[in-house]
Structure 1
Amino acid sequence: MRAKLQVSDVQSTATSERLSLRAVCKTGGYPADGSDEDNSFAKWTPSAELTMTINNPDLLGKFKIGDKFYVDFTPAP
């Protein structure tokens, strides 16, 4: 399964960041012809939230509010 999430909040400390992401959505609706990719993701995954803390110093400062990411869910052994 693949979801498309957007960074909604970044809380930084000296050694980590707490990221909050939510399902993509658009205020005011999407084009009727379905040409906006977010439209499809919002239709099939209308609600999602993910919060994670990152301690990897190479990733600190890389995530900005409004950035969009695909998140893939693959079964793990």
Structure 2
Amino acid sequence: MTRIIALALAIAAGSLAHATESTVALDTATSEKITAMLTAQGYEIRKIEIEDGMYEAYALKDGNRYEIYLNAELDVVKTELDD
């Protein structure tokens, strides 16, 4: 019986953590900082959102579409060419 309760609590905690992360809103100040930083690098920002604990900026540069991933300190950790 104890194992069943422990399993149920673990499942509920995992679901709650996932729901909390996915509902985090992007604040205006952070969005503006990301936009300014990437615009200075030549990108035209289309959209910024939070996913999987990282900021994702969707941008254009030199006729190509990019997905740019930033950590909580706003360091670019990965840039992908979006097909």
State TM-score, norm by structure 2: 0.27
Larger-gyration structure (1/2)? 2
> What's the TM-score, normalizing by structure 1?
0.28
